Structure 1
Amino acid sequence: MLVLTRKVNEGIRIGDDIVVRVLEVRGSQVKLGIEAPDEVKVYREELYQKILEENIRATKADKDQFNRLKEVFKKK
């Protein structure tokens, strides 16, 4: 993991087209601004984890439904 120290209004560049800038520091919170192309999805970590969990749940449900349908067609 790369660890950097930045001050307010300083930023870092990721690749050619993503910029992360420190906008504000207040107590233990840091406000970041992210400039990225529209095709780059940017999520808060906790939201991204929930999306992954929901996708896993949905995939499991699809597999269960598929297996039930498979059994129905085997009986015919």
Structure 2
Amino acid sequence: MLILTRKLGEGIIIGADVVVRVIEVKGGQVKLGIDAPQKTTVHREEVYRRICEENVRAATHVPTRLDGVVRALNARRERDDGGGAPA
């Protein structure tokens, strides 16, 4: 981890097109300004972690009633194919 010391108004450059600048220091809080291209996503760490967790949840979610849907589709297919009695 790179650790830098910056004064009010000073900044750092990340890559060729992202600038992070110290805007305000008040008590134990530092306000940063971030100048980045619109295509670059910028999130607070806790927000980014929640986004990642939600993406994992969405990708691994298995509908609990999927078996009922499969049975209904199979029954309909049998009925439409003439293999079963009309419902």
Structure 2 length-normalised TM: 0.72
Larger radius of gyration: 2
Q: Structure 2: where are the runs of 5+ without partners?
A: 75-87
- Residue deviations 1:22-60, cap 9 Å, x none? 000001100000000000000000000100110011011
Higher relative contact order (CA 8 A, sep 6+): 1
Structure 1 length-normalised TM: 0.82
Q: Percent identity?
A: 57
Equivalents in 1 of 2:50, 2:32: separation in Å?
A: 21
Equivalents in 2 of 1:2, 1:25: separation in Å?
A: 20
Aligned-pair RMSD on alpha carbons?
A: 2.0
Spell out the pairing of 1:1-76 with structure 2 (5 A cutoff).
Answer: 1-61=1-61, 64-65=62-63, 68=66, 72=70
SS in structure 1 of the partner of residue 22 of structure 2: strand
Which protein has the bigger helix share? 1
